[in-house]
Amino acid sequence: MTGADNHAHIKHLSFRTQAFINGQYVSTVSGETFECISPLNGQPLTSISACDTQDVDLAVTAARAAFEQGTWSHRPPAERKAILLSFAHLVAQHATELALLETIDMGKPISMSKEEDMDGVVQTIAWYAEACDKIYDEVAPATPHSVGLITREPLGVIAAVVPWNYPLLMAAWKFAPALAAGNSVIVKPAEQSPLTCLRVAELAAQAGIPDGVFQVLPGYGETAGQALGRHMDVDMVTFTGSTEIGKRFLCYAGESNMKHVSLECGGKTPNIIFADAPDLDAAAYDAGMAIFHNSGQVCSASSRLLIEESIHDTFLSAVQKVCDDMVPADPLDPDTTMGSMVDKNQMERVLSYIETGTQQGAELICGGKQVRQNTGGYFIEPTIFDRVTNDMRIAQEEIFGPVLSTLAFKNPEDAIQIANNTNYGLQASVWTRDINKAHKVARQLRAGSVNINNTDGGDISMPFGGYKQSGIGRDLSLHAYDKYTQLKSIYIELS
């Protein structure tokens, strides 16, 4: 479809605006709503129900009842698999509509909403669906006179509190393994981007997921998010978002029922370029894409570029070319590679970091401004700072925008020291053709994932998550399935 087709199409989109509780869309008890604004033009799209503690209570009661009745939790795994596969199929059938919703709600380019987000959601649901009936429990090497069974059981009621940068995909990374394991799930989308999560709720029901097992509560973090975090009958919160709010969930759990807490938080990914990288042009292209993709609103974005001193100037010029080619444009145009920031607040936050970078003495070598103001939307051009030192705020704090901080290093030890000198530890990249150096550096980097000679590696079969203040626990892979279960030991004495 062309950009014009997409503009025509969005006029006919209908929005699901109410909470999805116990198998149906319902208004909030209070009747409160909030405005959903499109970052493409700053105009309101619709009003969305603003859930609070009363709605959270209703959803948790329905989730618990479904869990106890066993309509999902006790269903044979092969049946759960079939239903989840049909859910994945329905999402695939509605991928165009969902991608359009994601783009107008969040601002990312339509090609990305389709090929990265919706394809990723379908793949994630299908992957965990397939896992349902292929995971065995364990028999312990206890005594010859006993049988020691170690079984996994679903935890119960899971609250998934998710961010706005990949609204449906981040939710799917949570709800797919949690549902596959037999739990009831309540998703709380970010207030900036609730449309796709609300829409898929009815697709889940249509696929056969029973009432109360998959629910969606839109609302503010302070109200709906906090009420889930503090609820005495929620067994686990699985969160993706900022480190600051992640820490609050640890407090909520400690002050309520000691629920499990899994946190995927911020990052400040170092991308280390050695002079002996196998292909410096490819590395430069990748270095640009790794920060400007999704306008830098990616937790694992390579926001710190560490370049070996001997190639600093030539390498940086090559990255600058990528920056020049990435021009923010109409997100509904299929050729657009860079969209808008999610909202006005995020745009202003990023612009203020750019100002701080200049004030603290870094050299702005390209970008730095808001563009496309005439649209009313929130677009920022790709931005590169050189001569950044690791003590500057732009080197230490997560900007979550298209802003690259460049630092020079002398040798591997120096690179490792700079890379690890941050509170975060989500991801890192190393570019070298020396396999020994690659391994040695990778092992010393304090990060949950290390990519060698790429920046966007990883696979659904590999865990994703952070060291240090980037989080606790992992998404993706069968390790994520495990975290939505608890172990029970059953010891049978043989007579």
What is the spatial distance between Cα 365 and Cα 342, in angstroms, rounded to a whole number?
Answer: 25
Site for ligand NAD in 131-170 (CB under 6 A): 161-165, 170
Which CB, 64 or 248, lies closer to ligand NAD?
248
Site for ligand NAD in 415-474 (CB under 6 A): 426, 466, 471
What is the spatial distance between Cα 138 and Cα 150, in angstroms, rounded to a whole number?
Answer: 5
- The strand pair at 24-26 and 19-21 is best described as antiparallel
Which CB, 368 or 465, lies closer to ligand NAD?
465
Which CB, 105 or 398, lies closer to ligand NAD?
398
Residue 65 Cβ vs ligand NAD, minimum distance, rounded to whole Å: 24
CA 127 to chain centre: 17
Options 218-226, 288-296, 433-441, 478-486: segment touching ligand NAD (CB under 6 A): 218-226
User: Can you read off the two tokens belonging to residue 309?
Assistant: 């001193």
255 is catalytic: no
Site for ligand NAD in 394-413 (CB under 6 A): 398, 400
Selection from 406, 428, 370 nearest residue 284 by Cα: 406
What is the spatial distance between Cα 167 and Cα 189, in angstroms, rounded to a whole number?
Answer: 7
Contact flags string 177-206 toward ligand NAD, x per CB under 6 A? -----------x-xx---------------
Which CB, 167 or 368, lies closer to ligand NAD?
167
Instruction: Report if residue 236 touches ligand NAD, rule: CB under 6 A.
Output: no
With the C-alpha atoms ordered 201, 205, 208, 214, is the resulting torsion angle positive or negative?
positive
Q: Which of 267, 328, 412, 473 binds ligand NAD (CB under 6 A)?
A: 267
Question: Could you tell me if 106 and 342 are in contact, meaning their C-beta atoms sit under 8 angstroms apart?
Answer: yes
Which CB, 196 or 240, lies closer to ligand NAD?
240
Site for ligand NAD in 270-299 (CB under 6 A): 299
> Which segments of 186-268 does DSSP mark as H helices, in order?
195-207, 226-230, 243-255
Options 47-55, 221-229, 375-383, 409-417: segment touching ligand NAD (CB under 6 A): 221-229
Query: Which uninterrupted H or E stretch holds 49?
Result: strand 44-49
The strand order across the sheet containing 403-409 reads: 363-366, 383-386, 403-409, 304-308, 270-273, 427-431, 449-452
User: How many residues make contact with ligand NAD (CB under 6 A)?
Assistant: 29
Instruction: Report if residue 240 touches ligand NAD, rule: CB under 6 A.
Output: yes
3-state DSSP assignment of residue 159 = strand
299 is catalytic: yes
DSSP E strand boundaries for 309-402: 363-366, 370-371, 379-380, 383-386
Which CB, 69 or 396, lies closer to ligand NAD?
396
Residues catalogued as catalytic: 264, 299
Report the interface residues with ligand NAD, using CB under 6 A: 161-165, 170, 188, 190-191, 221-222, 225-226, 229, 240-242, 245, 248, 264-267, 299, 398, 400, 426, 466, 471
